[in-house]
């Protein structure tokens, strides 16, 4: 068999986030927005909170050796400063279930949803928000670290201030609120840095990182290349430059690339995004300037008919293989998502999963593309030529 550019300990898996799959989400800014009709209702989602073992059995049967999921902050800290030991025990069970199946857990501490008490008392605009967040993160890591080595503090800080304060699509639904944008941008850098330091005081033997949504800008002509550099600075480096000293690893979420000054027609995914998995290489190239281990923490497509997913996965893995041959330290690939789930402002209409959900019966059906991914994993990516 051809040699693989992937090391034996490369992580292959998929991802999820608490409120997108667990169901019965406790009071958060998103559940409140749903009650007000600003985002679709979350409801029971995939009932993953109770069915996680069944879901991990499926992931294992698909060859995964790692899994990324998130902790619901509102469950752990239902009131300010009050921590729920029962919920910690629940997530310990989740971690044990992964370990028993030989899957390495990657835990995200905050994936978009804020406890209602936090958002109602000012959210990220609270002066003491970074300290409050750091206290929650350190508490969780302290109680879970025996079972997990990899923790991400925040998922996609940039989507929080872009979608929450510019586009007005996510809580707190502010539009073109540049003051809010800037203050939340700065607070999230402080929150990550404070959380990193507090976690490390408690536990020094785990990896702590951040997950960033890398929107790639590229161009062919000189003029547009300059513009692309500026946009990459504004969208990615301006934030990452403030936090990279406090990260042991970086999670790269990749979905889209804009090629400036040139129009090329791409296949559109169900959500209307261009399908450009090969550009994942560019996203990794943007992030490798920090010389930290990189993980593709998300890349995936909405494709209900499963027409393009297998090709998308192959091309994404090819992009990683190419990045590795060019010296980039990429250590894992987490397809988004394991299951169809609550796709934020689009509700349940979009189907990103390796596993299809029938939400009425809670039936899970493995999509054909998941087996293509499985075959790649079984050969540790050896058939992906570069």
Shortest Å distance, C-beta 70 to ligand BGC: 9
Among 270, 282, 340, 343, binds ligand BGC (CB under 6 A): 343
Residues near ligand BGC (CB under 6 A), total? 11
Angstrom distance (rounded) from CA 263 to CA 219: 11
Among residues 29 and 298, whose Cβ is nearest to ligand BGC? 298
Among residues 302 and 330, whose Cβ is nearest to ligand BGC? 302
Angstrom distance (rounded) from CA 224 to CA 245: 30
First to last CA, the chain: 15
> Does residue 270 interact with ligand BGC by CB under 6 A?
no
Within 136-155, the residues that bind ligand BGC by CB under 6 A are: 155
> Does residue 70 interact with ligand BGC by CB under 6 A?
no
Among residues 88 and 240, whose Cβ is nearest to ligand BGC? 240
> Does residue 159 interact with ligand BGC by CB under 6 A?
yes
Among residues 156 and 270, whose Cβ is nearest to ligand BGC? 156
Within 170-229, the residues that bind ligand BGC by CB under 6 A are: 213
Shortest Å distance, C-beta 180 to ligand BGC: 20
- For residues 97 to 116, the per-residue mask of contacts with ligand BGC, x marking binding by CB under 6 A and - elsewhere, is --------------------
Please report how many Cα atoms fall inside a 13 Å half-sphere around the Cα of residue 386, on the Cβ side.
Answer: 19
Among residues 162 and 193, whose Cβ is nearest to ligand BGC? 162
Q: Contact region for ligand BGC (CB under 6 A) — 58-66, 144-152, 278-286, 336-344?
A: 336-344
Shortest Å distance, C-beta 204 to ligand BGC: 28
> Does residue 69 interact with ligand BGC by CB under 6 A?
no
Shortest Å distance, C-beta 221 to ligand BGC: 30
Among 11, 13, 14, 17, binds ligand BGC (CB under 6 A): 17
Shortest Å distance, C-beta 344 to ligand BGC: 6
Among residues 213 and 333, whose Cβ is nearest to ligand BGC? 213
Within 238-267, the residues that bind ligand BGC by CB under 6 A are: 253
- CA torsion sign for 209, 276, 42, 366 is negative
Among residues 142 and 256, whose Cβ is nearest to ligand BGC? 256
> Does residue 118 interact with ligand BGC by CB under 6 A?
no
The three-state (H, E, C) secondary structure of the chain, written as one string: CCCCCCCCCCEEEEECCHHHHCCCCCCEHHHHHHHCCCCCCCCCCCCHHHHHHHHHHHHHHCCCCEEEEECCHHHHCCECCECCHHHHHHHHHHHHHHHHCCCEEEEEEECCCCEHHHHHCCHHHCCCHHHHHHHHHHHHHHHHCCCCCEEEEEECHHHHHHHHHCECCCCCCCECCHHHHHHHHHHHHHHHHHHHHHHHHHCCCCEEEEEEECCEEEECCHHHHHHHHHHHHHHHHHHHHHHHHHCCEEEEECCCEEEECCCCCCCECCCCCECCHHHHHHHHHHHHHHCCCEEEEECCCCCCCCCCHHHHHHHHHHHHHHHHHCCCCEEEEEECCCECCCCHHHCCCCCCCCEEEECCCCEEEECHHHHHHHHHHHCCCCCCCC
> Does residue 29 interact with ligand BGC by CB under 6 A?
no
> Does residue 156 interact with ligand BGC by CB under 6 A?
yes
> Does residue 336 interact with ligand BGC by CB under 6 A?
yes
Within 283-302, the residues that bind ligand BGC by CB under 6 A are: 298
193: number of Cβ within 10 Å? 19
Site residues for ligand BGC per CB under 6 A:
17, 20, 155-156, 159, 213, 253, 298, 336, 343-344
């Amino acid at each position: 068999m051809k040699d693989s550019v992937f090391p034996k300990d490369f992580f292959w898996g998929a991802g999820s986030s608490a409120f997108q799959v667990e169901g019965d989400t406790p009071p958060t800014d998103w559940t409140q927005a749903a009650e007000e009709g600003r985002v679709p209702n979350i409801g029971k989602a995939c009932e993953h909170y109770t069915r996680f073992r069944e879901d991990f059995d499926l992931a294992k049967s698909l060859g995964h050796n790692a899994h990324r999921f998130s902790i619901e902050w509102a469950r752990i800290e239902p009131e300010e400063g009050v921590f729920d030991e029962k919920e910690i025990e629940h997530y310990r069970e989740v971690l044990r279930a992964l370990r028993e199946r030989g899957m390495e857990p990657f835990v995200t501490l905050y994936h978009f949803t804020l406890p209602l008490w936090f958002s109602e008392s000012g959210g990220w605009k609270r002066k003491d928000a970074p300290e409050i967040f750091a206290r929650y993160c350190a508490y969780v890591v302290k109680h879970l670290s025996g079972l997990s080595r990899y923790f991400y503090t925040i998922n996609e800080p940039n989507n929080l201030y872009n979608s929450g304060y510019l586009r007005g699509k996510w809580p707190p639904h502010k539009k073109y609120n540049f003051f809010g944008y800037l203050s939340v941008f700065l607070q999230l850098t402080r929150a990550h840095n404070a959380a990193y330091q507090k976690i490390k005081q408690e536990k020094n033997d785990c990896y702590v990182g951040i997950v960033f949504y890398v929107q790639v800008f590229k161009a062919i002509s000189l003029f547009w290349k300059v513009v692309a550099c500026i946009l990459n600075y504004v969208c990615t480096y301006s934030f990452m430059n403030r936090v990279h000293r406090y990260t042991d690893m970086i999670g790269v979420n990749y979905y889209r690339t804009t090629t400036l000054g040139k129009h090329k027609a791409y296949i559109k995914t169900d959500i209307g995004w261009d399908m450009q998995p090969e550009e994942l290489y560019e996203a990794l190239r943007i992030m490798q300037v920090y010389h930290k281990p990189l993980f593709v923490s998300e890349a995936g497509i909405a494709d209900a008919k499963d027409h393009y997913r297998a090709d998308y996965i192959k091309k994404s893995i090819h992009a990683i293989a190419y990045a590795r041959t060019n010296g980039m330290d990429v250590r894992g690939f987490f397809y988004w998502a394991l299951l169809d789930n609550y796709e934020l402002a689009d509700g349940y209409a979009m189907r990103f999963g390796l596993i299809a959900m029938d939400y009425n019966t809670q039936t899970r059906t493995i999509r054909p593309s998941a087996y293509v991914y499985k075959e790649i994993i079984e050969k540790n990516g050896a058939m992906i030529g570069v």
